[in-house]
């Protein structure tokens, strides 16, 4: 089967998000006092995830030890996913630094690969290793064996996997790996020669999965990144507010917070709901599904403020809540700029500038009139960068 899954391998995101540690030995510690991740320099000294921090210090005394920050790391994972979702229909990003793109059906997969490499390099601060194979498992092993900035393409999956050690199989604990060793199964080729049921009887379901992976049958599909399913912001008002301008001020701030969150996840809102809590009464709601997803603070506040200006609450307002119950990827939102002329001139110009920054000025051409009356067609007009 032709390769369609690309794996880009970069340092663990806890390391990649700290550019100040570039080129230095560094260790990221978990809250339980063990190593979560190590920079390439610390790994070269023998530091591996799971060791205690004291063991890591003994192996690499010069290493800087920093605490993990799961929130910041998740934000970097989202940034990477947002960037790469523009290139491929399905993208999976893991905190350990493995990033997969499904290139199936793309008209220009080579362009997507080159652009993915460039974006990963910009986000991680280092050249990614790239692997291309029929599935995620083989692609990740290929990436681990590629040189920095280079692509290793796997044509014959069984031949590539065969000599690799069984320790490459995911999901097996130390006891299961010891069982494989006792059975004389030390390479993926040896595991692939068994029937799935044979190893399942020894290791349970993990044994069956191991055989299928060793055969290159890829039973573990990608888990594509998706933007948030729902998000919202609210503000309690004490004392209750009756002044409409004060209410609009609060709503503008909430819309700004929501727009920042949408930008972080590369999402746009297809549905918007506003709820006002009123003193001594039931909350009052307004809800609308919009034709085009909203993602900026101005777009969100434009709709919310139009409601608030005409709203006549029954009592002073005690709480303002803005919810976005239906989101979609912002990548799809860009399509509307070129359909039916319903995007503003500013939006179109901004989109064109982004395209030219990424792909060069020649990505979009405009027609310039020359000798319109000429009998030779190529003398009448000339194509120039827009």
Using CA atoms, how far apart are residues 143 and 154, in angstroms rounded to an integer?
10
Query: Is residue 235 pLDDT above 80, yes or no?
Result: yes
Residue-level pLDDT at 380: 66
Using CA atoms, how far apart are residues 293 and 228, in angstroms rounded to an integer?
14
Task: Provide the 10 A C-beta neighbour count for residue 288.
Answer: 12
Query: Is residue 348 pLDDT above 70, yes or no?
Result: no
Q: Which of 3.30.540.10, 3.30.9.10, 3.40.1170.60, 3.40.50.300 is the CATH number of 5-131?
A: 3.40.1170.60
Domain 231-333 coded CATH 3.40.430.10: no
CA separation (Å) from 82 to 91, 112, 227?
9, 14, 9
* CB-based contacts of 37, cutoff 8 Å, min separation 6: 11, 12, 14, 15, 27, 28, 49, 68, 96
DSSP 312-364: --SS-EEEEEEEEEEEEEHHHHGGGGGSTT-S-HHHHHHHHHHHHHHH-GGGS
Across 69-89, average pLDDT: 88
pLDDT digits (tens, 9 = 90+) for 114-149: 999 999 999 998 999 999 999 999 999 999 999 999
Task: Provide the 10 A C-beta neighbour count for residue 271.
Answer: 16
User: Which residues are 330's β-sheet partners?
Assistant: none
**pLDDT band for position 328 (cuts 50, 70, 90):** confident
Bridge-based pairing state of the strands 64-67 and 26-29: parallel
Residue-level pLDDT at 312: 84
Rg of the Cα atoms in the chain = 27
**pLDDT band for position 341 (cuts 50, 70, 90):** very low
Handedness of CA 119, 124, 129, 131 (dihedral sign): negative
What 8-state DSSP symbol labels residue 237? E
Residue-level pLDDT at 78: 86
Using CA atoms, how far apart are residues 10 and 117, in angstroms rounded to an integer?
10
Size of the chain, expressed as the number of residues it contains: 386
Q: Between residues 167 and 347, which one has the greater pLDDT?
A: 167
Query: Is residue 10 pLDDT above 60, yes or no?
Result: yes
Contact (CB, 8 A) for 257 and 231: no
Bridge-based pairing state of the strands 129-133 and 381-385: unpaired
State the average pLDDT for the chain. Answer: 86
Using CA atoms, how far apart are residues 243 and 318, in angstroms rounded to an integer?
12
Using CA atoms, how far apart are residues 257 and 324, in angstroms rounded to an integer?
12
Query: Within 13 Å of residue 20, how many CA atoms lie on the same side as its CB?
Result: 3
Q: Hey, is 278 helix, strand or coil? A: strand
In percent, the amount of the chain with pLDDT more than 70 equals: 86
Task: Provide the 10 A C-beta neighbour count for residue 368.
Answer: 9
Contact (CB, 8 A) for 267 and 330: yes
CA separation (Å) from 13 to 38, 74, 122?
10, 8, 13
Domain boundaries, the chain: 5-131, 158-214, 231-333, 344-385
Q: Which of 3.40.1280.10, 3.40.50.150, 1.10.150.20, 3.40.50.2300 is the CATH number of 158-214?
A: 1.10.150.20
Across 226-233, average pLDDT: 75
Residue-level pLDDT at 339: 38
Q: What six digits make up the tokens of 261?
A: 């969150």
Q: What six digits make up the tokens of 208?
A: 């069956």
Across 263-287, average pLDDT: 87
């Amino acid at each position: 089967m032709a390769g369609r899954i690309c794996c880009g391998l970069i340092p663990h995101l806890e390391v990649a998000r700290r550019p100040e540690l570039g080129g230095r030995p560094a260790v990221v510690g978990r809250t339980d006092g063990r190593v979560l991740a190590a920079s390439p320099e610390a790994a070269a000294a023998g530091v591996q995830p799971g060791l205690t921090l004291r063991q890591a210090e003994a192996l690499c005394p010069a290493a800087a030890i920093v605490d993990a920050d799961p929130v910041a790391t998740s934000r970097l994972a989202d940034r990477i996913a947002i960037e790469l979702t523009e290139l491929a229909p399905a993208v999976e990003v893991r905190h350990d630094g493995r990033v997969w793109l499904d290139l199936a059906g793309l008209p220009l997969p080579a362009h997507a690969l080159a652009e993915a490499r460039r974006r990963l390099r910009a986000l991680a601060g280092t050249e990614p290793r790239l692997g291309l194979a029929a599935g995620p498992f083989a692609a990740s092993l290929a990436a681990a064996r590629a040189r920095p900035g280079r692509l290793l393409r796997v044509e014959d999956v069984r031949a590539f996997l065969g000599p690799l050690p069984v320790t490459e199989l995911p999901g097996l604990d130390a006891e299961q790996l010891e069982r494989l060793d006792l059975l004389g199964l030390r390479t993926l080729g040896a595991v692939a020669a068994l029937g799935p049921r044979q190893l399942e009887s020894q290791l349970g379901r993990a044994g069956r999965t191991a055989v299928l992976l060793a055969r290159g049958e890829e039973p573990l599909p990608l888990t594509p990144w998706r933007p948030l399913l729902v998000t919202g912001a609210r503000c309690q008002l004490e004392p209750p507010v009756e002044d409409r301008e004060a209410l609009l001020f609060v709503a503008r701030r909430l819309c700004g917070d929501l727009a920042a969150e949408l930008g972080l996840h590369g999402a746009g809102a297809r549905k918007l709901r506003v709820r006002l809590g009123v003193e001594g009464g039931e909350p009052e709601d307004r809800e609308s599904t919009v034709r085009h997803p909203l993602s900026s603070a101005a777009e969100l506040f434009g709709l919310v403020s139009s409601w608030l200006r005409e709203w006549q609450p029954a009592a002073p307002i005690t709480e303002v809540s803005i919810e976005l119950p239906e989101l979609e990827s912002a990548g799809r939102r860009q399509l509307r700029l070129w359909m039916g002329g319903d995007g503003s001139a500013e939006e179109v110009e901004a989109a064109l500038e982004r395209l030219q920054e990424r792909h060069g000025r020649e990505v979009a051409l405009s027609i310039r009139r020359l000798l319109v009356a000429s009998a030779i067609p190529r003398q009448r007009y000339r194509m120039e960068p827009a």
